[in-house]
Amino acid sequence: MDYKDLMQVVCSRRSIRRFTGRRVDRERIEQLVEAASWAPSNHNRQGWKFIIFEAADEIHALAERSRRCVEAFLAETRRPATAQMDELVHFTGAFEYAPVVILVMHKKSPAVGKAILAQAASELASGEVLSAAAACQNLLLAAHVMGLGACMMTAPLLAGEVWKSLDSLPAGYEPTCLIALGYPDEAPAPPKRKKLEHIVEYRNA
């Protein structure tokens, strides 16, 4: 494998949001989690968990409850309805028709002391969220090379109480994102990327 091969995989991965009804078998799911588990993590803590939802009824119910939760929040704050809000509600439940939904979680407790974190350049210095994010990217790439489609989603987490009230989640972990997973029923064009000169700065002074 060289840079060109790697870039072929990296650049051809897309976020897939529409899926066929084909079931994703357990062996594939295990392989995806295995790929995720080889991501770098802070102090090699591997402070991540992957909660797999496969039952369509449960996935539909979670999507419906998530939409209602965000709708209720918007109604309570008495904001006039706008297209943007409709979109927010839509994206909150956009995982509804995924055959598999993975709730990715990261460890709540930081690996370093609270005092040092308080003066850190970013609260992300604790590394827990970023480790889980790195695991997600491994999982997305592995799904892609297997012919599966996936989309990382944080909008559903706006429905905080839905995820917090789930039974038997691992203690000491909190949600990082969802990954909707299945066989793709769409082939979206690659969204444009910013040019390198707009995202990189060299400091050689």
Ligand X SMILES: Cc1cc2nc3c(=O)[nH]c(=O)nc-3n(C[C@H](O)[C@H](O)[C@H](O)COP(=O)(O)O)c2cc1C
Interface with ligand X (CB under 6 A): 14-15, 17, 91, 94, 151-155, 177, 191
Q: Burial, 163: exposed, middle or buried (Cβ in 10 Å; 0-12, 13-18, 19+)?
A: buried
Q: Which is nearer to ligand X, 118 or 187 (CB)?
A: 187
CB of 116 to ligand X, least distance (A): 26
Rg (CA), the chain: 19
**Which C-beta is closer to ligand X: that of 39 or that of 151?**
151
Measure Cα distances from 176 to 20, 78, 103, 160 in Å: 26, 28, 8, 12
Specify the residue, 29 or 141, whose C-beta has the smaller distance to ligand X.
141
Nearer residue to ligand X within complex by CB, 100 or 177: 177
Which residues is 179 bridged to in the sheet?
102, 152
The least CB distance from residue 171 to ligand X, in Å, is 24
CB of 151 to ligand X, least distance (A): 5
Integer Cα distance of 33 and 135 in angstroms: 8
Q: Choose between 24 and 157: whose C-beta lies nearer to ligand X.
A: 157
Tell me how crowded residue 181 is: count the other CB atoms within 10 A of its CB. 27
Q: Are 94 and 190 in contact (CB under 8 A)?
A: no
Nearest approach in angstroms of CB 94 to ligand X is 5
Q: Whose CB is nearest to ligand X? A: 155
- Least separation in angstroms between residue 104's CB and ligand X is 10
Q: Which amino acid is at 196?
A: L
The arrangement of strands across the sheet holding 173-182 comes to 48-53, 100-107, 173-182, 149-153
